[in-house]
Structure formats: structure tokens, C-alpha cells
Amino acid sequence: MLWQKAWLETRGRFLAGLAISVIVGFGVIYDFRATERLLPLVRNMDPGALDTTGPIGAAIKEGIAAQQTFRGFVWWQWYRQNLTYLVVIFGALLGAGGLLARSGGATLFTLSLPVSRNRLIGTRAVIGLAELLAIAIVPSLVLPLLAPSIGQSYSVIDVMVHGAFMFVVGSVFFSLAALLSNDYTDMWRPVLIACIVAAALGMLEYVPAISPYGIFHVMNGETYYRHAGVPWIGLLISTGISAALLRTAAVNLAHRDF
């Protein structure tokens, strides 16, 4: 029954996240069609006309190069940008609200039940993470499904692999929001703080020396996109950080006085 309680508490956020992501996913497909028409124009442009030096210039060059193909377009727009933002935000949203209860005054009722606090926290975390996994994978299935309608194709395996990366890194923000929620009774502060942390980490990755080690580098699966490789170390570190944050949240709650 704890599973059901956790589901009831998070389903609003989850379904909203799913719906929004699916809609944005639709957008990606049809955006590509528009981009396709622009591509010939870009290819024929005089390289000297654009100042492509410096980090921003490099980014523009990279972006143009990537978006030549559908697979590249998906990686550049969907994984590198849209889905990353969605997974970070909804990861934080799903982790927030307290692992013990979004039940406000009913916390004492929950604590009077014959279950250990670890079990209460555990079920809530599992449900939240499962929902995050779903958001990381399910909306992306729109791509292999609808790509044929614009004369393209996208591999389901790619969806799965990218989804896994998204989930592992996204869980870091889930866990961070969960830990912060121990101390804040409202939901928006943990989410805001987690997003600020994400933004700060994101900005750090613009520094070329840091960029290959950045958390978002792992998340958007560039290694896989370019070389079909798996960033094991990055994934392990992210998993480790998530686990540590969650465990801290759990231990903190287990000893807390209510």
C-alpha cells in the first residue's frame, strides 16, 4: 500500500512531466522538417562570413555540423537541450516534497503506522525514480515512432541508451531535491536550488578544460552519439553521488524528531 500512496502523491507531477515531454518530442520531429529546408542555405554560406572563433563560435559550428542529419539533430536539440532541461526539472520536482510525505499534517499518521522509516522513504524514492526513468525514455519513443512520417528513422536502441544516461544523471538532481526537502516544508525551494545547481554546473561546462568531465556531457550521451562508447566513469560517479545524497536524506530522516 505504500507503493500506491507514493504513486498518488507523485502522479500529478509525473503525468505533467510525461505530457509536456511528449509534446516537446512531437515538436522535435516537425522542427527537423523546418531545419531541413534551412540546411542547404547554411552549407552554401561563405565560412569567412561568420566569426566562428571563440567558444560560442565553436558551439555554432558544432551545432551546424551536428544538425546535418536527423540523428545529429535529435542529439543536438532533443538530448542535449530539451530533454536535459525536462529531466533535470522533473527530476527535482519528483524528488521534492519530502520523502516521508507530501501529506503535510498527516505526517504523524504516517509515522504511527507499523513500518520503519527506511521503508517509508525507500518506497517513495523507488516510485519517484521509476517515474523519472519513464520520463527519460517514454517521450523519446515518439522519435522512432513518428520519424517515418517525415521520411526519417531513429533507432529504439538509441532511445534506450540515451534514456539510461539521462536517468542516471537526472537521479542526481532527484536526490538533491529529496535531501533539501528534509529541511523545507514547501516544494519550490528544493526545486529552485536544485535547478540553480544544475545551471551552475552547466555553465562550468563551457570551460573547455572541464567540458569532457562535466555531468551534462555524460547526460546528453555525446560519447555514445559520436563513437558509440559508454561513459562508464561518468555514470558511476553520478550513480555514486545520487546514492550518497539519498542515503544522507534517509539517515537524516530516520533520526529526526517529529
Partner 1 sequence: MSEPLAIETVDLQKRFDATDALRGLNLRVPQGSIFGFLGRNGAGKTTTIKLLLGMARPTAGQARVLGLSADDAAASVTIRTRTGFVDENKVLYDYMTVEEIIRFTAAFYPGWRRDLEKRYLQSFELPLHQKTTALSLGMRSKLSLLLALCRGVELLVLDEPTSGLDPAASEAVLQTLVTHVSTERLTVFLSSHHLADVDQIADHIAIIDAGRTVVSGDLEDLRARYRRVQLVFTGDAPDITFHTPGVVRVRRQGRVMTALSNAGSDALIEEAMRFGPVSADVLPVTLKEIFLESVALED
With CB under 8 A as the contact rule, which of the stretches 13-21, 100-108, 142-150, 211-219 interacts with partner 1? 100-108
CA separation for the pair 24, 117 (Å, rounded): 38
For the chain, how big is the Rg over CA atoms in Å? 20
In the range 108-147, which residues lie near partner 1 by CB under 8 A? Answer: 108-109, 111-117
CB of 187 to partner 1, least distance (A): 15
Phi and psi of 168, rounded to 5°? -60, -45
Closest CA relative to residue 132, chosen from 169, 77, 182? 169
Q: Does 258 bind partner 1 (CB under 8 A)?
A: yes
**240 CB neighbour count, 10 Å cutoff:** 11
Window 55-74: contact mask with partner 1 (x via CB under 8 A): --------------------
CB of 61 to partner 1, least distance (A): 51
Q: Which of 4, 69, 149, 153 binds partner 1 (CB under 8 A)?
A: 4
Q: Does 105 bind partner 1 (CB under 8 A)?
A: yes
CB of 103 to partner 1, least distance (A): 5
Q: Which of 52, 81, 82, 103 binds partner 1 (CB under 8 A)?
A: 103
DSSP per position, 88-157: HHHHHHHH-S-SS-S-GGGHHHHHTSSS-HHHHHHHHHHHHHHHHHHHHHTGGGHHHHHGGGGT----HH
**57 CB neighbour count, 10 Å cutoff:** 12
Q: Does 9 bind partner 1 (CB under 8 A)?
A: yes
Where along the sequence are the contacts to partner 1 (CB under 8 A)? 1, 4-5, 8-9, 103-106, 108-109, 111-117, 254-255, 257-258
